[in-house]
Amino acid sequence: MFHLRFALPVLTLVVLNVCAGIAKGAQTSILAFSDRNDLLSYPVPPDFVDDHMESRLCPRITNVTLNVAEPVSPFGISEAANPLTAHSGYDHDERVIALMTHGLGQAETSEIVKKRCTWLRTIDE
């Protein structure tokens, strides 16, 4: 599935050709969660799929940025969040769990996601 340490197989860099016409449900969805306050997380770049994933999986990466750690303003001057909580709090966040179990943009999308999340969709051209 991933080709991080080995030579790239011939079937990389052809995701668009292989996956054209494949139903959305047959694609491999990857959700990459990150919190702006998490010093160790980052969005997955678009070329990661072409460079390091097997094309026949028809991978789709969705980067999700949200505040897992609650920001606090200890002196009323500016807000900051605990970076450790931001890094390790994903499994306790209701929105993360709802996105992983019910998805997005479909009838089964959880109410908490509909109420507490705002989405910005970007399209690579």
pLDDT of residue 52: 80
Q: Name the residue among 101, 102, 99, 92 with its Cα closest to residue 117.
A: 99
pLDDT of residue 125: 58
What CA–CA distance (Å, rounded) separates 90 from 29? 18
Q: Which residue has the tokens 């909580």?
A: 85
pLDDT of residue 94: 93
User: Mean pLDDT, the chain, as a whole number?
Assistant: 80
Query: pLDDT tens for residues 58-102?
Result: 888 888 888 888 888 877 777 888 888 889 999 999 999 999 888
Q: Say whether 28 sits in a helix, a strand or coil.
A: strand
Six-digit token string for 116: 């507490």
| Amino acid identity, position 82 | N
Using the predicted structure, report yes or no on whether residue 16 has a pLDDT greater than 80.
no
Q: How many CB atoms lie within 10 A of CB 80?
A: 12
pLDDT of residue 7: 64
Cα distances (angstroms) measured from residue 30 to each of 78, 85, 114, 123: 34, 23, 20, 16
Q: Domain locations in the chain?
A: 15-116
What CA–CA distance (Å, rounded) separates 109 from 52? 30
Q: What is the DSSP string of 47-116?
A: HHHHHHB-GGG-EEEEEEE---SPPB-TTSS--B--HHHHHH-GGG-HHHHHHHHH-SSSTT--HHHHHH
